[in-house]
Amino acid sequence: MPATLPRRLLAELLGTMLLVTTVVGSGIMATRLSPDDVGLQLLENSTATVFALAVLVLILGPVSGAHFNPVVTVAAWWSDRHDPTGLSAKDIAPYIAAQTLGAIAGSVLANAMFGVAQGMSATARDKPQLWLGEIVATAGLLLLIFALVRSGRAALAAPAVAAYIGAAYWFTSSTSFANPAVTIGRAFTDTFAGITPTSVPAFIGAQIIGALIGVALVAALYPKATGSAETVTRPSSQQAIEPEAVGAAP
Cα separation, 173 vs 186, in Å, equals: 17
Query: pLDDT-based confidence at 159, cuts 50/70/90?
Result: very high
Give how far Cα 82 sits from Cα of 31, 173, 217, Å: 48, 37, 20
H/E run at residue 200: helix 200-221
Q: Is position 40 within any domain?
A: yes
Q: Is position 238 within any domain?
A: yes
Q: In CATH, what number is assigned to the domain containing residue 33?
A: 1.20.1080.10
Domain coverage including residue 78: 5-245
Mean pLDDT, the chain, rounded, equals 91
Q: Is position 59 within any domain?
A: yes
How large is the average pLDDT for residues 49-67?
97
Query: pLDDT-based confidence at 243, cuts 50/70/90?
Result: very low
Higher pLDDT, 153 or 240: 153
pLDDT in the model for residue 1: 60
Q: Is 21 helix (H, G, I), strand (E, B) or coil?
A: helix
Q: Is position 105 within any domain?
A: yes
Q: Are 73 and 151 in contact (CB under 8 A)?
A: no
Q: Is position 182 within any domain?
A: yes
Farthest CA pair distance, the chain: 54
Q: Is position 125 within any domain?
A: yes
Counting the structural domains of the chain, the total is 1
How large is the average pLDDT for residues 240-249?
36
Q: pTM (2 decimals)?
A: 0.90
Q: What is the pLDDT of residues 203-240, one digit of tens each?
A: 999 999 999 999 999 999 998 766 543 445 666 543 33
Q: Is position 250 within any domain?
A: no
Q: Is position 181 within any domain?
A: yes
